Chains A and B, each alone.
Chain A
Amino acid sequence: MDTTKKMDDANQYIVISMGDEQFGIDIKYIDNIVKMQHITRVPNVASYIRGIINLRGEIIPVMSLRRKMGMDDDVETKASRIIILRLEQLGMLGIIVDEVKEVLTLDDEDVEKKAVTENKEDTDSYIFGVGKYGESLVSLLDVNSVVAFE
């Protein structure tokens, strides 16, 4: 209801955890969150593309956020989820995360924008800012650079 009102100075983020770190993904990109399911491998594609899944009759490619960001490989647990992103250019795309925590609303002033780094190997290059999350901090993912081809 009041999202339009909040839009001006606040954004909502889904907080996910990857290893010890917390990341935030802007809710406007998120179509759906589904449980981990069987992923059909696609041969001869970039290593971070895990394959494709069937989501209610649609074929959706799934990518490993860990592999893309150069972290250790995914370990599937009960908490693992696939976040389905809806992107303007590329359509739907799933990304695998360790755990989905909660929805977080951050005012613009709570977000510290980060200078752009060019180092692709670094997790940092996919982060556009850092927000306050309770006692700790949450790195906000720049979705477009996460999904971009290399």
Chain B
Amino acid sequence: MDVSQYLEIFLDETKEHLQSLNTQILELEQNPENMETINEVFRAAHSLKGMAGTMGYKRMQTLTHDMENVFSEVRNGHIKVNASMIDCLFQCLDALEDYLATIQSTGDEGTNDNEMLIKDLNAMLGAENADESETKPQQAKAAVSDASKEKWHTIPMGEPEKHVVREALKQGKNVIGLTVYVQESCILKAARAFLVFKALEELGEVIVSNPSTQDIEDEKFGFDFSIILVSDSDAEKAVAAASNVSEIQEVCAGLILLDTEEVAGGAAKEETAPEEASANEVPEAPQVEKKPVKKETKATEKKNKPVVNRTVRVDIEKLDVLMNLVSELIIAKNSLVSATNVEGATNAGVNEHIEYLESVTTNLHESVMKVRMVPIESVVNKFPRMIRDLQKKLGKKMELHMSGEETELDRTVVDEIGDPLMHLLRNSADHGLESAELRKERGKNEVGYIFLNAYQEGNNVVIEVGDDGNGIDVDAVRKKAIERGTITEEQAEYMTEKEIIDLLFLPSFSTAKQVSDVSGRGVGLDVVRSKIQSLSGEVEVRSKLGVGSTWIIRLPLTLAIIQALMVGVGGEKYAISLAAIDTIEDISPEDIKLVQSKEVITLRGNVIPLVRLNEVLGIESLKDSSENLTAVIVKKGDKQAGLVIDELSGQAEIVIKSLGKYINKSKVISGATILGDGEVALILDTNALL
């Protein structure tokens, strides 16, 4: 057992608590009198403090402790929530996030004490400081020495343990019984218990505990546990060592003398009166720096930089489904084995089992995929706070409306999507929204409207980010592009509005007249786009001058396994993602028209360009030019194209494999897959063909 095994849980939970604090404090800013929110904030701060203390992060603990004091005063009605307090609290949250980031990368909290913040917090408490002890009832607990508290008397001991005790006594060692009470507010009880064990093991040997060490490790105990320790030191030292661990409420101890009689009877003579530990240091104490918990910090420091693995917390139900499916898979496999073993096995019988197997594997795949899915909530939750800060910084009034936070995406995608979204939101706040005066002039609500909507659409997740601001000034972009030599004037004349707007995604292209530290350095949109493209997604923008703009991000639900249409081109096999396909059309050569010397067809009133795949792929088509063509109509946003192929060879579920680092120049190929017969087929990147 080791504290570092809790590090992941600690990081995850701390992040959650910080997020909840952020949300709640935002809420508090709106409704300063809401008791429920204040209580919620208090609880979150308290848990944070407890966890930081458990892990031995002193600085983090001190800061949260002072924050908790402020909340506690607010809760008791001694001080009122005001704007400067909210600002200060947000700064504290930022500081905590810094600690967390440092811990994540180095395993240590760093050396920043954030004294200024602590000073501010204490200043807020002001005169109320005197009453502080009143809010800490646990601390003032009277020292009760009660025999019933010394549960170590009742530790069941087997013959081997008794033997050890006898031997120890013979050697003149002390056998000490201890009962440790953990504070009821303690979060990671097991970690506490572990620290107590560790502390005691430095003094001697723990021979038995109740409940068993295994149960304690698994947190299967109430708020106390008892230990029998064989040691050279006396009971006082053991008590001191155990009490040194924070969040330990009380430690009772006594010597066991075991005169060959049963220990469990409690008949053991006690030379030392049970040690009271009420004076020990609990984190609630106003001066936390009283007595540093040396052992804990040492334990964490000793760990050579824990590398925190990325984890997904999985709903147990999802795992249950997965388990069931695996069992079914095994059954299916067994029946398949027996079906082939039976003399004169009929094909029909085998086919039946294969179909069963297929349905199981499909479900299995879906569930595994779901296990990897997490709601985007974890990413978008930090945005309200960001908008609040931007509002102050930019001096514009704005509101963020979000919907669809529960939309789920693959964990890897969720991790990456935060920055691009943040950038788009900042863009909206900074460039999109006009100043309040201008808004008034235009007859708009003074408060700017920024939105983030997420929803699932077929095999994609769509995230829309936008505002009701100024929209993109196409003429300004065109002028700028010509000025910069990105395009020539002739080119500009022929370009559609959409094409002009697309220029914004080029590297170092910013139309902002002023560079602010919010956005406008021109290193944004191209990064946004390349990030999203690296996640196999796409981004487009719809904008109307004076009305606002919307950025639409489309991301695939999963990256690893897709449904695909297998097609043949010039004798080679290619896969096209089913998600990109609209329809498949049979086209007679007469229907092909030429527009600007490019082949197009008209389909249900739409003019669709044709792409001869054999030309793109550099191979001879097997079809005669007089024959009817088969075209797969693919879409990307509202663009369409018809990919001309030789033959269709059915639908398949394919596993996407990378082509490796060596082949990366091939634009039209997004990956490869291995077919049932071991052959390799390439996956066409339809986005690149449009």
Contact = CB atoms under 8 A, between A and B. Distances in A.
A45 B663 contact: yes
A52 interface: yes
A58 B655 CA distance: 11
Contacts of B386: none
Interface residues of A, number: 24
A91 B679 contact: no
A43 B660 contact: no
Given A54-B678, A57-B674, A59-B680, A42 B661 contact: no
A44 B679 contact: no
A52 B672 contact: yes
Interface in B610-663: 616-619, 657-663
A61 interface: yes
Contacts, number: 71
Contacts of A52: 659-660, 663, 672, 680
A63 B154 CA distance: 75
B662 A61 contact: yes
Which of A44, A57, A147 has most B Cβ within 10 Å?
A: A44
B665 interface: yes
Contacts of A44: 617-618, 665-669
A7 interface: no
B366 interface: no
B128 to A, nearest CB: 63
How would you classify the secondary structure of chain A's contact residues: helix, strand, loop or mixed?
strand
Contact of B672 (A40, A46, A92, A93): A40
Contacts of A92: 660
A53 B572 CA distance: 14
A54 B680 contact: yes
Which of A42, A90, A147 has most B Cβ within 10 Å?
A: A42
Nearest to B569: A43
A38 interface: yes
A49 interface: yes
Contact of A59 (B572, B619, B659, B665): B659
A45 B617 CA distance: 10
Given A57-B674, A92-B660, A43 B665 contact: no
Which of A38, A52, A89 has most B Cβ within 10 Å?
A: A52
A40 B662 contact: no
A28 interface: no
B681 interface: yes
A33 to B, nearest CB: 19
Contacts of A59: 657-660, 672, 674, 680
A60 interface: yes
A41 interface: yes
Interface in B51-66: none
Given A49-B662, A61-B660, A43 B681 contact: no
Contacts of A93: 660, 662
A61 B663 contact: yes
B679 A46 contact: no
Contacts of B674: 54, 57, 59
Nearest to B664: A45
A8 B364 CA distance: 52
B28 interface: no
B669 to A, nearest CB: 6
Interface string A39-80: 011111110010011100111110100000000000000000
Given A41-B572, A42-B659, A44-B665, 12 more contacts: A40-B572, A40-B680, A42-B663, A42-B666, A44-B617, A44-B669, A52-B663, A52-B680, A54-B674, A59-B660, A59-B674, A61-B663
17 contacts: A42-B666, A43-B618, A43-B666, A44-B617, A44-B668, A45-B666, A46-B665, A49-B662, A52-B659, A52-B663, A54-B679, A57-B674, A59-B657, A59-B658, A63-B662, A90-B661, A93-B660
Nearest 4 A-B pairs (CB), nearest first? A40-B680, A43-B617, A61-B662, A59-B657
Interface of A: 38, 40-46, 49, 52-54, 57-61, 63, 89-93, 147
